[in-house]
Amino acid sequence: MTSLLFWFQVIMAWTYMVPQVLQILHGKTRGLTLAMWLIFIGYLVVSLSLAILAWREKKEKIRLYTIIIFAQWTIFIAVLFTMCVGSVRWSTGDTTVCVAVTILSILTIIKNGLRDPMTRGWLAVWCKGVPQLWSAYVMLDTGSAEWLPGLSLLATNATAIPRLIQVYLQGKRGGWDRATKGLFVGESANVLTWTVVTIVWLVLTVF
């Protein structure tokens, strides 16, 4: 079951990546915010560090799989950001969102310290939840979701939910250490806010 879930996530990540790259190459970027992907990279680095900490606590295969998944997504999002940085306009709203995420992150670090895995979990919330909500707003504001292919949207949902399940199983089987709890908090925020993006995409594209 664990290996099946892992390979499913790998395949779905590529299912997201290929149509997204093609969309960008064809210049279809309306509704896209650069801040989202830039902050995502921060989220992924935080989550990757949490996954590594969790693996160090207990060197189980399921925890190693989590590391690989986050490493793959870090590379993918960095490539997408690099592809768009010269063609998508950076807005004042992007700056505001980045500043807000930075402030929330600093306050979180000051309160609990960076070494606490739960701090890193909340950093993942700010770096994933806030920009995804901003992305939903930008799509509504521009009246367009053309930057996001339907297959990429589906693949994101198909990877985010199993990843949350994988982290839950990791905690249930191996124990809810603070690193695993931090991962669970971050992934829960990811699923909830991407659901908002999905609803907005459906409103603009289908209805």
Sequence-distant (≥ 6) Cβ neighbours of residue 2 within 8 angstroms: 61, 62, 65, 166, 169
Q: Which two tokens stand for residue 77?
A: 């999002």
Q: Which two tokens stand for residue 184?
A: 């669970």
Q: Whole-model pTM?
A: 0.83
pLDDT of the residue at 183: 85
Listed residue (196, 135, 133, 128) closest to 163, CA to CA: 128
Each of the 207 residues of the chain gets a pLDDT tens digit; together they read 678 878 888 999 899 999 999 999 999 999 999 999 999 888 788 778 878 988 888 888 888 988 998 899 999 999 999 999 988 999 999 999 999 999 999 999 898 887 788 887 898 889 889 999 999 999 999 999 999 999 999 999 988 888 788 888 888 888 888 888 888 998 899 899 999 999 999 999 988
